[in-house]
Chain A
Amino acid sequence: GAGVSQSPRYKVAKRGQDVALRCDPISGHVSLFWYQQALGQGPEFLTYFQNEAQLDKSGLPSDRFFAERPEGSVSTLKIQRTQQEDSAVYLCASSSKGAGGPTDTQYFGPGTRLTVL
């Protein structure tokens, strides 16, 4: 596709359930980022991949959050035992360049809105 896609667009989970959010980056993009955006706030960094390597996971709020990108393309953000405070929009972004190079534009997907009841 032409842009970053994310699925599902909306997810409702009961507290304690596990969820998996998918990101399809722009084809050939080296870098992939996950951000969390609470209502009325700016996006907050969660984690960063360069190809299949997770180079920075400093923004993950707890060990209930786990992300992977096993083949260097599609990425999945998994949240275990969801809590109400996990309710937010989860944004994925990709860029064509990797760490150490000039920062390139990050292209964002539409996000997944997660609501935990």
Chain B
Amino acid sequence: GENVEQHPSTLSVQEGDSAVIKCTYSDSASNYFPWYKQELGKGPQLIIDIRSNVGEKKDQRIAVTLNKTAKHFSLHITETQPEDSAVYFCAASLIGQGGKLIFGQGTELSVKP
């Protein structure tokens, strides 16, 4: 089955700096890759997603890149702000198989003012 590895497990940056989180997946059939942000005591919230027919997607300060050949995808956050501090999860799924998400282990991002 699918396996998703996420790095780093913790990341500390200064406000205004960029943050990058990387994930690799094992099943080449996976074709949907969402990123979720989880704050303490809350459920995961989708922040951006990408499908395998595109290589990059941007939404304001957030971007995701996908390399299907290498089976890895990355989250890029620019101009980080203290409110970006949270745990971020990547996930992989196979469209048409019910949408079951396989999550990475999470990255705890801390943005210091």
Which residues on A are within 8 Å of B, measured CB to CB? 4, 31, 33, 35, 40-45, 48, 50, 55-56, 59, 91, 93, 95, 97, 99-111
Contacts and interface: CB of A to CB of B under 8 A. Distances in A.
Interface in B27-47: 32, 34, 36, 41-46
Contacts of A45: 100-102
Contacts of A48: 98-100
A62 B91 CA distance: 24
B98 A106 contact: no
B105 interface: yes
Contacts, number: 70
B43 A106 contact: no
Nearest to B1: A58
B99 A103 contact: yes
12 contacts: A35-B101, A41-B105, A42-B105, A48-B98, A56-B100, A91-B43, A93-B43, A99-B98, A103-B96, A104-B99, A106-B34, A111-B42
A35 to B, nearest CB: 8
Nearest to B108: A40
Given A41-B106, A105-B34, A33 B43 contact: no
